[in-house]
Amino acid sequence: MKVSKEQVRENRTRIVETASELFRERGYDGVGVAELMAAAGLTHGGFYKHFSSKADLMSEAMRCGFTRSAESTVGVSREKFIEYYLSRQHRDDMGNGCVMSALGTDTARQSESMKAAFAAGIERQLAVLGNENVTRADLIDNIAHLVGALVLSRACPDNSALADEILDVCRNRLCSQDVHKD
């Protein structure tokens, strides 16, 4: 049975969205093509009709995750962004959370093209969060603190008091900073 062009596009989108979530949840090496395709509700054999390699899908899934993150932060105040980013809810929902904190260390071990796609995602997030009241340096500083805090918290046992303390201390410190234009 022939599949329509529209169905092919829908299938590809489903694969990319599924991969984006699974890669953030388990890392690039933690998900195989067969498992990913099954999670997307498709057969393993169809993968290479959409992508030339898993690396191609990884790059597209990363861009998808960055796009979703950017879209969800448009118009959100700095304080609300920080409160959510360093919340237990965000910490515990890695598959739907921030690409930077979930895949930063994995991406550091990937190809230069993957690193470039990651850097483009960071630039996009900086553009979305930026405004005339904050310098680029302050934005980079804030993002580095946010990502680092989330990574550290996630690396602690789930029920650890330290995991929550890291989120609380960093959230309180970042929210109390006077971010201004130099």
Please give the single-letter amino acid code of residue 155.
A
Give the pLDDT confidence of 148-168 residue by residue, as tens digits: 999 999 999 998 999 999 999
Residue 85 pLDDT: 96
Span 120-126, average pLDDT: 94
Tell me: pLDDT of 180 over 60.
no
Share of the chain above pLDDT 70, in %: 97
89: pLDDT strictly greater than 70 = yes
User: Is the per-residue pLDDT at 181 higher than 80?
Assistant: no
| pLDDT bucket at 19, cuts 50 / 70 / 90 | very high
CB atoms within 10 A of CB 66: 24
111: alpha, beta or left? (left if phi > 0; alpha if psi -120 to 50): beta
- Domains assigned to the chain: 5-176 (1.10.357.10)
**Given a cut of 80, is residue 94 above it in pLDDT?**
yes
What's the whole-model pTM score? Answer: 0.89
Residue 133: the pLDDT is 87
Output the DSSP codes for 68-121.
Answer: HHHHHHTT--HHHHHHHHTSHHHHH-GGGS-HHHHHHHHHTTS-HHHHHHHHHH
Q: Which residues contact 161 (CB under 8 A, 6 or more apart)?
A: none
| Whole-number pLDDT of residue 20 | 97
The amino acid occupying position 81 is F
As a whole number of Å, the CA-based R_g of the chain is 18
